Amino acid sequence: MDEALSGGTGTYQKLENGVLVPSPELFLRVARTLGFSDHHLRIAHLDLFRTDPVLPAEPASPHWRRWVRGHTEMAYVCSPAGELIAGNDAFTQMFPSGRPPANMTEWALLSAEAREHVLRDWERDWAPYLLADLRLALARHPDDPTLGKLRDAVRNDPRTRHIEDAPTGIGDEARRLRHAGRGTVTVRALTLRTSEVTVVTLLSEGRG
């Protein structure tokens, strides 16, 4: 066991006896070596460190498509890296082309469509908060290649590289967007994040 952990002779015994308190990194090596399920790994990590562990993103359930179709408000589901999994009709109709992008994070931060047409007051009301959300996603999934590419693209983009992150990510504050079918509307974003998906509902408060 000590050899598997690369921690030196007696490391595992010290852990068992409570003599050595593991770092999060050592704990994850122990859990993987012992075959913990992700569920029990999260429980143990919360018990030891009072935080969720950083785990690879899990495959999304195919049933999200059915779930999102049951909503009348604009709603979509994407991976932690922003890759679109499902969106309902109200969401799809938001885009001038009638086709949502493959990656919502990339679209919202880097596309001309989002910056100039859909997300109103993009540089003030959207971009700083989207950048804060990107930073959080990178912290949760530091090895995700899509997030790594987005980080580099944002750093190299002449507009985003000069925008400072907001103190928090996109919340339920009122923001405006131009919906291709409804015109300019005020929305509030309700966001739920798991290790598998990010679920976003854009509650419309009417034209404005």
pLDDT at site 143: 86
pLDDT per residue over 84-102, tens digit each? 999 999 999 999 988 999 9
Three-class secondary structure of residue 85 per DSSP: strand
Report pLDDT for 17: 63
Instruction: Look at residue 63 in the predicted model and tell me its pLDDT.
Output: 87
Task: Work out the average pLDDT over 126-155.
Answer: 94
How many whole angstroms separate alpha carbon 166 and alpha carbon 55? Answer: 25
The pLDDT, as a whole number, for residue 18 is 67
- Comparing C-alpha atoms, which of 75, 73, 113 is closest to residue 96? 113
pLDDT for residue 36:
82
Of the two residues 33 and 103, the one the predictor is more confident about is: 103
pLDDT of residue 200: 96
CA end-to-end distance (rounded Å), the chain = 63
Q: In the prediction, which pLDDT does 22 show?
A: 75
> What is the layout of strands, in order, in the sheet containing 74-78?
84-87, 74-78, 198-207, 183-193, 175-179
Map residue 142 onto helix, strand or coil. coil
- pLDDT at res. 142: 86
Higher pLDDT, 105 or 70: 105
pLDDT of residue 11: 65
Q: What digits encode the pLDDT tens for the residues 14-43?
A: 666 666 667 777 788 778 888 888 778 778
Phi/psi zone of residue 9: left (φ > 0), alpha (ψ -120 to 50 degrees), beta? beta
Higher pLDDT among residues 62 and 20, named by residue: 62
Percent of the chain at pLDDT > 70 equals: 87
More confident residue, 6 or 52: 52
Q: List Cα–Cα distances, 84 to 80, 177, 203, in angstroms.
A: 10, 19, 19
The pLDDT of 61-70, averaged and rounded, is: 87
Identify the three-state secondary structure at position 140.
helix
* pLDDT tens-digit readout, 152-173: 999 999 999 999 999 999 999 9
DSSP-assigned beta bridge partners for residue 205: none
Question: Across the chain, what does the average pLDDT equal?
Answer: 87
Alpha helices of the chain — where are they, by DSSP H?
A: 2-5, 11-17, 24-33, 38-49, 64-69, 89-92, 104-110, 112, 127-140, 145-156
Neighbouring C-beta atoms of residue 7, cutoff 10 Å = 18
Tens-place pLDDT, residues 173-200: 999 999 999 999 999 999 998 878 999 9
